[in-house]
Structure 1
Amino acid sequence: MADVLIGANTSLLLSAPDGTLLWRWDEDSRLRSRLNRSSVVIGTRWSEDVIGTNGLGTALETARAVTVNGTEHFNEALHDFACAGAPIRHPVTHRVTGVLSVTSLVEDASPLMAPTLLRLAHDIEEELYGETSMHERQMLRHFLAERRRTRSAVVALSADVVIANSLATSMDLDHSALWQQIESGPGDIVGLELASGVRVTLCRPVYRGGTVVGAVVVAEEMPADALVRPTPTRSRDLDRDPQRQERSWIRLVARLRATAAMTDRLLVFGEHGTGKRSALRAAVADSDLDYRELDCATVDEVGHEQWLADARALVEHADELVVFAHLDALDPGVCRALATILDRAPRIDGSDLRLAATVSAAALHNDVLPRVVLDQFPPLTFEIPPLRKRTDDVLARLVDQEFGMPTLSHEAIRAVQRHPWPGNHRQLEEFRRWLARQNRPVVTAADLPPAWLHDVARGHLTTMQSAESDAIATALRECGGNKAAAATALGISRSSLYRKMREYRLR
């Protein structure tokens, strides 16, 4: 194809699966020098976590063909280029083995770049297929035959091959453990319910010479409406459901409990409303410790002297877990006084958790708290992730409803799962109250509040886009809304910042 492109003022680039540039071809000296000045050289890495949006990295991140023109590049140094990128998938495993890109200067860009690139990527995949082994082809044939028969998740696997459709890829399947079970008896895994909430519905062994060399497995997730359809006994049975006990909140509390066993003092941080205090209460629920809490936000209400006296009295009890909630609500003077109290409190090496404090992630990362109080806690900290990273917790909370509340349709469930929940548990509680007031048996996605349209739209962002959006929002917050300062901190121009703010609907 390089010979065909002579005179088209283009360059061909090929990257490894991690975005490292492996090969570059160009015949136009002007384009070659511009690429060299922009560090588009072999050995550099062009994944989105390093460069931002670009033809190679974005195609790798989305695993789809993309075209990035001029100012669509995140890096301002690439605004002069037009890039079309396409992932090259292995024809058997369907894994991305590299990314091919056709690049030119913006003024030389042609609408034929994208179709030319797709044809070349297809030719490469054909060559790869011709080099695959007989066993891989056999597994591929069985996979394709089963995929045509069902719309469920399909996986063809053996000791060294895994082929899956998109549904199976999204499921939490341990392929090595699944293959070990198939080897011991393929028929025994039909009806098997995995801890991740996936049920195996069919297993077709693949034989060679009378020996099982692989299998095609059909699996399905537990019905979504079974997770969110309210029944009179649902909330009472929640704690006895072994599958729900594996959900993220239970695992989170278990990790917090393990961390608490390693220290006598702990700083717990996270976004507002993530459930930091609830997690601490749950972590000591089965211990002999009493949970005592002092809210730092009430210091002005009760007075500084009384609040500090209460704090001094609490830390003297060795058989209690004392939690200072909202530590970042204290002013510097009270912080220093509290640090003196904590400094004089007895310390017992090797004991379980006796003192904890909760603080917002923004305050911890932006050094809002005086060092004198932070030094009272060991460097070991524990983060409570936001609800947008704990979809299981959202669904579990919606299950725990009173009888008679509306049921969420499948589309509404997906909208709930995509929602970023910027207000975390407080916003979730308001949504439950809104849901309880709906005078209809089923709430569909069209019935959801209009205000959700902006937040749910963020749920459609790719992982890289979400990270980019969060980075911009954090920079704006740290710079007090000053866009010029935020652009400087991010290393981009103000025009790029404004464009990204419009794209991600940031205010």
Structure 2
Amino acid sequence: MSWLREFSQARDDVLSSSVPQVPSPPSLIRPTVYDSWRRSRLQGLHPEQVEPRYLLETEADGYLARTVAPIVDKYEVALEHGAYALVLTDRDGRLLSRWVKDPALATVMDNLGVAPGTNMDESTVGTTSLIAMLTGRPEMIKGPEHFSEKFRDFSCSSAPIIHPINRRLLGSVSLICRLWDTAPIMLPWIIEFVAAVTESLRVRASHREQQLLDAYTAHNRDARHPVVALDSKTIITNAAAARLLGGVDQSLLWEHARRSLVDRPHGPSTLTLPDGQILTVDCRAVSNDGDDAGAVLVIKKQAQPRRDIDGTAAGSGFNQLPRLVGRSASWRALCRQAADHRGSLSPVLVTGEAGSGRLAVAQALQGWRDVRVIDAADASSRGAKRWCRDLEALLDVPDVSLVIRHVELLSPTSALAALATLRRAFPHRLLATAEKLAFDSTSHNALLDSFTAVLEVPPLRDRLEDFSDLVAHLTERVTDGAAQVQWTPEAIQTLSRLDWPGNLNSLNALVRRLVVGRSSGRRIGVEHLPPEYLARGARRPLASLEQTEAQAIMNALQAAGGNKNQAALSLGIARSTLYRKVRALGLDLSSTVY
């Protein structure tokens, strides 16, 4: 009891001090406990005022709880013959399940809020044995070592649950008793229990792979037809699929499958290979265990037309627009439509979202030869008469093609004046770009009536298969082909998750930002992407406030070199809180290296 008195006095001295003047810990206070107390104080907690926070929802029947429950049955005897409670939390400190045989202890724990549906992480209740998830090793906290006054009559031993395959923290298991029932065997007991959980997780992981294999086997009835079964880490293919998909990276293939399951849960999607071949892909989920449950891809090759000597498909209507790249279904559809107007003199209006490459498509229609450009946005600032004089001056050269950018911005009066100018000196060919079609405008633009054909450029978010080609093309253009810069598949996959409201303009700006002036290294990975892009590349759409929070987290992690403890301290939160926010925001740190 002398230890209890001395420790309680030391505890009162430390925790009664103001935060900036917290004294150095006496020798009987373990550094791990002292550091946790200090973090608790820095987060604004007071020993007499902390309360477990009740949550709206918890995953009481989730993957971790279903794994642990059968292990508890095997160790139930230990709980029946002692006043002990066993508690399971997830990695964010949310209490998922509680097993306790002693009714009196159960009542006390209910009164303290140590029950399923509450949050017990360090940022909520201060120091408990859940700091094991911060230290990465089993911990025992006895009596006054707890930060909260409410818990100083209890002892608890906890061990973190680490997934045996991917080494990720999943949660913790704790053994709790009253202080006077504390036994030295508690910590070894909980270590043995978690070892049994880890082994079960290993078996379940093997079962998951077996599920993937079973799904593959079920669909691979005819080896002549390409079949793929995959998740984010594993891929199984037959020989036909391996030959067909040799140039497709697994991460991008999985991203295509994952997106197809969300966007097109019923019905096939299309996938364009690097050689231009288009596949019909029927994606089927392996199970309902979550976003990373795996999928089976049943692939069919579309009929390939006879190829001309120059390598283009005869009669297919597809010819790549010069100087432009792409192989996605949406891009190829645009190119097929554009092929009908190449070499023609008919006026063409190119529409699409801002930054999608409308001007480049218009110039490519004329092979980039003798094409002059004027911006209708200048008509409002320069005046219609002066702008029309500039327009007429561009038409002095014979056989010149003209592109009017942002033609939808012309006022009705300016549009009529431009139309009159063009009738006096009509170009060899007239093309224009517009962000929206004429019927989207409340005022009539007479110039738009001059166009007999309309081409719509797809937005970047609909060109998933083009990201690798586009990034490589923009990189080569920025460096003039002098530097051999390579982008990793993980970086391309992260970028493909973004919505890109600025389309190619935004992608080009990012490429320039990362490539221009690069002093060392010819490889660009996820770790080189700016934090705001990593935040926006979350696995789910984020609201504006969530975007701000996600970017702050990624900035802190990047500044800390990936050290999550240091990042959490800089943000003023516990590491468990950081993990919870990363998970809630859908941020992917698995392939990020700082």
After TM superposition, the score normalised by the length of structure 2 is: 0.35
